[in-house]
A and B are shown apart, each in its own frame.
Chain A
Amino acid sequence: MGNFFADTLLKTAYRLDTSSGYAATKSFFKNLFLNDSYRYKKYFDYSMIVIVFLTVGIYLYDIRDNAGELLRLFEIFAILLFSAEYLLRFWVHSDVHTIIIAKLEECEELRISPNWRELSWIIIKNKLSFMLHPMSIVDLLSIHPELRPLRLFKIFRYSEITRGLFSVLATKKYEFGVLFIIISMTVFIASSMFYVFETANPKVATYFDAVYWAVITIATVGYGDMVPSTVESKVASIFLVFAGLGVIAMLTSLVTTTLGQRISAVREQKSHQHIGKLHDFALVCGFGKMGEELCARLHDAKMDFVVLEVDRNRTERAKSLGYKVFYADASKVETLKTLEVGQKATSVIALTKSDITNISIVLAARSISKTVKIISKANDTKNEQKMLFAGADETIGLGLGAQVLAQFLSSPISYQAIYELIADDKHLLAEELFVPTAMQEVRMEALEAEHFGCLILAIVRNSGELLFNPSADTAILPNDKIIAIGRPKRIEGLKLKLLKVSHA
């Protein structure tokens, strides 16, 4: 009997484990609830916030005026939605079937009959950890229509900012704990004195009244609905006021310093999440003059990039320009790994002023990924070979600048022409057009490049062979690159034309 049960359970667990539909559904809800970098999470969060406000609003309206049938229907919808949300959260919190599989497989291997009590306890403990979480308790309670105001607390769950704030304050748990104890002691002492010495006062009926008085006084609010009437309780008030001043000052300063210290960390965390959304970006290491120039160009071209810099002033400067920047050492393998070099960061550009650092960045990047494109600045020409040896695809050295200078001397007009082509992407540019992989064969004349006002200099075949000055009947093959010169808008037109003829 037990065996049959174990078999069926294991089979069901296996079926769940291998079912792609089950896994996909579960991961969808998991992302929706918990993954901040998931695209649709923010839409979910925003709609939930709106619904929470609406239901609370309806509740407040309903207290004095009659809300009407339609709004009550909305409340029912909200209750169903919140219940479903609670159950789904309960579901995605952990995978019961993997626990079952792990346990039962272990038992099978050891050839012992499963300990059902232990197994159920593990599962219950697992799910209890969800149910006992303060946020889950709020979720559960707030489903009830009479406890609707509680729903406002749910907003903390949906708002990234408030969650960030709480996580920041949580880092000073110990300090807040100590402060809480001090405040409680002060309130306890003062309210006890007040309670004892104000027995004749009809307004102080219970001990809670005394605590209420102490808190109102310590917070410097002082409504004045209860005032000390005896000398003894006046002494207690004086004690409370002075103690309160100190305690409140401590609390204020603790909160402000914590926020001040940690808010940048939260911001950093936030840009980490932003990077999660980028899929193909350049990693610019070093925000010196060249780094800044490069970033400006990438920014203009709407290409994604992330800056790494170890100088605080420069990180601030990059931040003020609106770039995504990390205060981190790019030569550390760990740093590059967290930025997913090779997968999401498809290129690494080392532009620090030290060649030793640049080589170290090149090595670190190459050690993580064989395919990532690495460009390194060589401050001294003699280091270029070393960089290439370390795995850089391209180096940028002073030789290049000297070459340009020499070029200017030998053929100033060509220099001017080519410079104009590479200076910016606004007026005129030399662009390469990718021919789609799946395309039917067409000839050059089909492009009508003259009509677009573009000059086609060459076609580069996939093999690397270059066909200069292609004639009208030259065939354009899949995966070719076409090098064309023209105004940006015209080049765009030519690109569209290329797509059109290749799919005709």
Chain B
Amino acid sequence: MRKIVIYDYSLVAKELLARLGSEFGETVLVVNDDAGYESAARDGFHPILMDLSNDENLLKIGVGASVSDFFCVSDDDDINLFVTLSVRAISSETNILARASDSDSKKKLMLAGANETIDFNEIGANRAFHLLKRPTALNFLDSILYKDDNELRTHGIRISEIKVAQGSNVDKKTLFELDIKNRYNLMVLGVLDNQISKRFVFNVNSFNHTIDAGDVLVVIGKSEEIERFRSECI
């Protein structure tokens, strides 16, 4: 069970709360000031009013213990930076995602110990760019990533991550031998190889990889076929 902390009530926090639901575990919204508390309460959330630039308060809500993920999504870059640094100082395990407003603050946040930073300006600009340059490809990626309805009739094609278990049918086999493309009608986008690196390697340039236990395959395809393949990997 994960415990997710979202710090400070902003428009992003609101969107995020609406999307997260209770799918991933317990979500806790912490707000900094009365105004944030009131607007969050008005929108139907149950926030905790607490100043998280204080280390004691961080410990109190469970950072370093029960908190698995921490979202810093305040509108103020400096607050995000400070809280990210404080959380990382207490716990090296917590998964920290921070919001940045430009590439400068992005770098700072990464230095402060954020696992991932998200720059909405960059995301928006990227999206606008791809909408201009390659709308169909973007639409396709959208439809496999998000379960939103889409103008492309994709017939329920999703992206999914499959972890390979020790001694399963695919362990120690190459992608070529498995012929996933034809046998399962799935596309292997790439592999996260836990032995070599933590990096994701794409299945391009005549990539032929021997799959080991612990690898994570990212596949695209219909849910039922993904499930069929997943059962082979256990």
Contacts and interface: CB of A to CB of B under 8 A. Distances in A.
Given A408-B97, A422-B126, A453-B206, A417 B121 contact: no
Contact of B160 (A288, A289, A347, A414): A414
A285 B14 CA distance: 27
B38 interface: no
Interface of A: 282, 288-294, 296-298, 301, 303, 347, 349, 351, 373, 375, 377, 379-381, 394, 396, 398-414, 416-418, 420-423, 428, 430-432, 450, 453-455, 457-458, 460, 464-466, 468-469, 471, 481, 483, 485-487, 490
Interface string B120-145: 11111111111111111110110001
Interface string B158-170: 0111000000000
B218 A413 contact: yes
B200 A282 contact: no
A469 B221 contact: yes
B187 interface: yes
B126 A409 contact: no
A421 B137 CA distance: 11
Contact of B24 (A349, A396, A409, A483): A409
Contacts of A418: 141, 145, 159
Interface string B18-46: 11100110000000000000000000000
Measured as residues with beta carbon below 8 angstroms from the partner, the interface class of chain B is 35 or more
A421 B138 CA distance: 10
Contacts of A396: 124, 127-128
A411 B12 contact: no
A401 B221 contact: no
A303 B161 contact: no
26 contacts: A293-B122, A293-B126, A294-B125, A301-B129, A347-B132, A375-B132, A379-B11, A381-B11, A398-B15, A398-B120, A400-B120, A400-B124, A400-B127, A401-B120, A402-B18, A403-B19, A404-B118, A406-B20, A408-B116, A411-B161, A466-B152, A466-B155, A468-B157, A468-B220, A483-B140, A485-B204
A231 to B, nearest CB: 75
A398 B11 contact: yes
A291 B128 CA distance: 10
Contact of A297 (B24, B129, B138, B220): B129
B137 to A, nearest CB: 4
Contacts of B216: 413
Contacts of A481: 136-137
A289 B121 contact: yes
In the A-B complex, the 7 residue pairs with the smallest Cβ-Cβ separation, listed nearest first, are A293-B125, A402-B15, A453-B205, A294-B125, A289-B121, A401-B120, A290-B121
B186 A469 contact: yes
B141 A373 contact: no
Contact of A469 (B120, B138, B181): B181
Contact of A486 (B189, B200, B204, B221): B204
B20 A422 contact: no
Nearest to B125: A293
Contact of B221 (A403, A422, A468): A468
Contacts of A399: 15
Contacts of A412: 116
B32 to A, nearest CB: 19
Contact of A432 (B11, B12, B134, B159): B134
Nearest to A289: B121
Contacts of B12: 398, 401-402, 405
A338 B90 CA distance: 58
Contacts of A430: 134, 137, 140-141
B187 A457 contact: yes
A305 to B, nearest CB: 9
B64 to A, nearest CB: 19
Contacts of A453: 204-206
Contacts of A408: 97, 116, 118
Contact of B200 (A289, A409, A416, A469): A416
B138 A293 contact: no
A66 B129 CA distance: 65
Nearest to A456: B187
User: Which of the listed residues B19, B182, B185 has the most CB atoms from chain A within 10 Å of its own CB?
Assistant: B19
A455 B141 CA distance: 14
B86 interface: no
Contacts of A485: 189, 202, 204
Given A399-B15, A432-B134, A457-B187, A414 B20 contact: no
A400 to B, nearest CB: 6
B81 interface: no
User: Which of the listed residues B120, B121, B129, B135 has the most CB atoms from chain A within 10 Å of its own CB?
Assistant: B129
A423 B73 CA distance: 21
B16 A405 contact: yes
Nearest to A486: B204
Given A351-B128, A413-B161, A485-B202, A432 B136 contact: yes
Interface string B69-102: 1010100000000000000000000000101011
A377 B140 contact: no
A373 B151 CA distance: 16
B224 to A, nearest CB: 13
